[in-house]
C-alpha cells in the first residue's frame, strides 16, 4: 500500500495587526526532507512514519510547511503553500493521502484554508484522505465533508501528537482495505471557549473528553474528535467542534456527536476564564515562600499569535523589586545592542514593547549583559519531543533582580531547554514569566510550586468580549447572553 504524506500548519490570529508572509514559513520541507525532519519525533508525522513501518506501508513524502502562529496569511504565501502541496500530489499513484494540518489557518480571500485544500486533494486524486488536526482547529463542514477521516489531538497541552498520527494512518489503512466505512457527523455547539479553559485534564473539557473516550471504548470502530477551536480566528465556523465516525451508521454518529455537543453547552459558563490583575499577581509572586512561581502572561501567548515582546509583567517586576525573576522577550534590536556592548558590559536601552504597542511599551533601564548565545535547542520534554527550535542570536541581560532572555525570533515556552540553552536552570528561579496560556504546562507544570494566570494586555486576552468580532456566527457564548 502506498500513501502520500504531506501537510502544512499555521494558527492564524485574525485580530493581529500584521500579516504572515511567505518568509515566515521557516519550516519548508520537500520530498525526503519531510521524513528526515520528523523521524523519531513526538509529532503527527513521526507517528505516521512509525505506524507505516509496522504495517508495511510505503509513505510517499511530498511537502510540509509551517509558520509560528501570527496574523492573517498573505494571499501569495497561501498560494505558494497550496501550489507546492498540490503540485507534488498531482499525478501520484497512491492508495490514499495522509495530511498533517492545524485546522485554524486563515488567508487573505480564504477563511477555510484546510477545507479548501482538502477539497482539492480529494477531487484531484479521488482516493481516501485522512488528516490530523490540532486541538484548536476550527472544524468546518467543508473540512468534514472533504476528508474521509479527521483525527484531532486528545490532549492540551498537546502531548499525544505521535499517537494521533499513528491512529490516522491505521484508520486510513482500514478505509483503503474496505475494513471501515466511515459515516460521519459534525456538531458545532454555539460555544467559543477561552483557550485557557481548554485543559483536557481538568473540567469542563475533561468531561467532554471522558465522554468521547467512553464512546470509543464501548465500540473500538468508533472514532471521536473533540476540538476546542481557536477563538482568535474571526471566521464563521470558529469555536468548538465535535466529529464522530462510525462504521457505516450515520444515525449513530449523529446521536453521539449530539450528546457531546449538549454537554459542551451545559458546561458553557465554565469555559470562561478570569485572571489576576498585573500588580496583584506580581505582589503575590514576590511574596510567595515557595518557588518557582509561574506567571502566565496569557495575553502575550506566542503560541496563539502574539509577538512575544509584552512588557506588562517585566515592568511590574522591576517596579516591585522582584528577585530571581526571568522573562523571555523577542526583541532583535535589543539583542544587537547587547551584542555590540559585549559580555560583562552595561548598556542603557529599551527592551520589548516594539511590535504593536498592544502588550505594554518598551522598558528603558540599565542592563548588564550576562551572556551572548546562539539560541538553538531541542525539545526534550513531552511536547514535540525531538524537534529543534531556533531562537537566533540571543542575549541574557539583567536589571536588578530580573533577568531577561532577549531572542531574535519569538519562540514558545514549551520546553525547559529554552532557558537551559542560555545557562539558566528553571528550578533555581524564583519567578518565571511564560508567554503562553496553557501549553507551557507540559514543561513548567512539573516544577511550578505556584501558578498565577495574569490579566495582561494584548492579543490573546482571556476575555473574548474585548474583541470586535465581525464574521463569527451569532449568537454564540460568551459573546452573547444566551
The predicted-structure confidence for 322-368, as pLDDT tens digits, reads as follows 999 999 999 999 999 999 999 999 999 999 999 999 999 999 999 99
Segment 246-256, tens digit of pLDDT? 999 999 999 99
| Cβ neighbours, 10 Å, residue 463 | 14
Distance CA 115, CA 298 (A): 29
Q: Which three cell numbers stand for residue 1?
A: 500500500
Average pLDDT, the chain: 97
pLDDT band at 60 (very low <50, low <70, confident <90, very high): very high
DSSP-derived letter for residue 73 is B
Task: Answer yes or no: are the C-beta atoms of 233 and 13 closer than 8 Å.
Answer: yes
Segment 101-143, tens digit of pLDDT? 999 999 999 999 999 999 999 999 999 999 999 999 999 999 9
In this prediction, residue 382 carries a pLDDT of 87
In this prediction, residue 250 carries a pLDDT of 98
Task: Answer yes or no: are the C-beta atoms of 395 and 54 closer than 8 Å.
Answer: no
* Range 146-162 average pLDDT: 97
* Range 29-56 average pLDDT: 97
Residue that has been written with the C-alpha cell 497561501 in this structure: 78
Task: Answer yes or no: are the C-beta atoms of 203 and 270 closer than 8 Å.
Answer: yes
Segment 407-429, tens digit of pLDDT? 999 999 999 999 999 999 999 99
Q: What pTM was computed for the model?
A: 0.95
* Range 29-52 average pLDDT: 97
35 — alpha (psi -120 to 50), left (phi > 0) or beta?
alpha
Q: Is the pLDDT of residue 44 over 90?
A: yes
Distance CA 416, CA 438 (A): 15
* Range 273-281 average pLDDT: 97
pLDDT band at 383 (very low <50, low <70, confident <90, very high): confident
Q: Percent of the chain beyond pLDDT 70? A: 100
Half-sphere exposure of 137 (CA within 13 A, CB side): 32
What 3-state class would DSSP assign to 112?
A: coil
Amino acid at each position: 500500500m502506498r500513501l502520500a504524506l504531506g501537510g502544512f500548519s499555521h494558527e492564524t490570529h485574525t485580530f493581529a495587526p500584521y500579516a504572515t508572509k511567505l518568509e515566515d514559513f521557516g519550516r519548508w520541507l520537500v520530498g525526503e526532507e519531510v521524513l528526515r525532519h520528523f523521524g523519531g519525533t513526538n509529532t503527527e508525522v513521526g507517528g505516521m512514519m512509525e505506524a507505516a513501518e509496522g504495517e508495511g506501508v510505503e509513505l510517499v513524502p511530498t511537502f510540509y510547511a509551517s509558520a509560528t502562529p501570527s496574523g492573517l496569511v498573505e494571499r501569495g504565501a497561501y498560494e505558494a503553500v497550496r501550489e507546492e502541496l498540490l503540485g507534488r500530489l498531482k499525478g501520484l499513484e497512491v492508495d490514499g493521502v495522509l495530511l498533517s494540518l492545524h485546522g485554524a489557518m486563515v488567508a487573505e480571500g480564504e477563511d477555510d484554508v484546510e477545507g479548501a485544500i482538502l477539497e482539492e486533494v480529494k477531487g484531484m486524486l479521488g482516493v481516501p484522505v485522512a488528516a490530523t488536526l490540532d486541538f484548536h482547529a476550527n472544524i468546518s463542514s467543508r473540512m468534514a465533508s472533504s476528508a474521509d477521516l479527521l483525527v484531532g489531538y486528545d490532549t492540551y497541552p498537546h502531548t499525544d501528537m505521535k499517537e494521533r498520527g499513528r491512529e490516522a494512518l491505521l484508520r486510513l489503512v482500514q478505509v483503503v482495505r474496505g475494513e471501515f466505512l466511515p459515516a460521519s457527523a459534525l456538531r458545532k455547539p454555539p460555544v467559543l471557549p477561552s483557550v485557557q479553559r481548554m485543559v483536557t485534564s481538568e473540567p469542563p473539557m475533561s468531561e467532554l473528553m471522558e465522554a468521547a473516550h467512553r464512546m470509543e471504548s464501548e465500540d473500538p470502530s468508533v472514532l471521536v474528535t473533540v476540538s476546542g477551536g481557536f477563538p482568535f480566528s474571526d471566521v464563521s465556523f470558529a469555536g468548538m467542534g465535535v466529529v464522530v465516525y462510525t462504521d457505516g451508521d450515520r444515525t449513530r454518529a449523529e446521536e453521539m456527536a449530539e450528546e457531546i455537543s449538549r454537554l459542551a453547552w451545559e458546561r458553557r459558563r465554565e469555559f470562561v476564564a478570569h485572571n489576576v490583575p498585573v500588580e496583584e499577581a506580581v505582589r503575590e509572586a514576590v511574596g510567595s515562600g515557595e518557588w518557582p512561581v509561574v506567571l502566565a502572561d496569557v495575553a502575550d501567548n506566542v503560541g496563539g499569535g502574539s509577538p512575544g515582546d509584552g512588557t506588562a509583567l517585566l515592568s511590574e517586576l522591576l517596579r516591585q523589586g522582584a528577585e530571581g525573576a526571568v522573562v523571555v522577550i523577542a526583541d532583535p534590536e535589543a539583542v544587537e545592542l547587547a551584542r555590540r556592548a559585549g559580555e560583562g558590559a552595561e548598556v542603557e536601552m529599551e527592551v520589548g514593547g516594539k511590535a504593536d504597542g498592544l502588550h505594554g511599551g518598551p522598558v528603558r533601564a540599565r542592563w548588564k549583559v550576562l551572556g551572548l548565545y546562539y539560541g538553538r535547542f531541542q525539545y526534550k520534554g513531552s511536547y514535540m519531543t525531538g524537534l529543534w527550535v531556533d531562537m537566533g542570536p540571543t542575549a541574557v541581560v539583567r536589571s536588578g533582580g530580573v533577568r531577561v532572555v532577549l531572542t531574535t525570533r519569538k519562540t514558545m515556552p514549551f520546553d525547559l531547554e529554552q532557558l537551559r540553552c542560555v545557562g539558566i536552570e528553571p528550578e533555581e528561579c524564583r519567578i518565571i514569566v511564560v508567554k503562553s496560556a496553557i501549553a507551557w504546562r507540559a514543561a513548567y507544570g512539573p516544577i511550578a510550586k505556584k501558578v498565577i494566570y495574569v490579566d495582561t494586555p494584548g492579543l490573546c486576552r482571556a476575555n473574548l468580549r474585548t474583541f470586535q468580532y465581525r464574521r463569527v456566527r451569532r449568537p454564540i457564548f460568551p459573546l452573547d447572553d444566551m
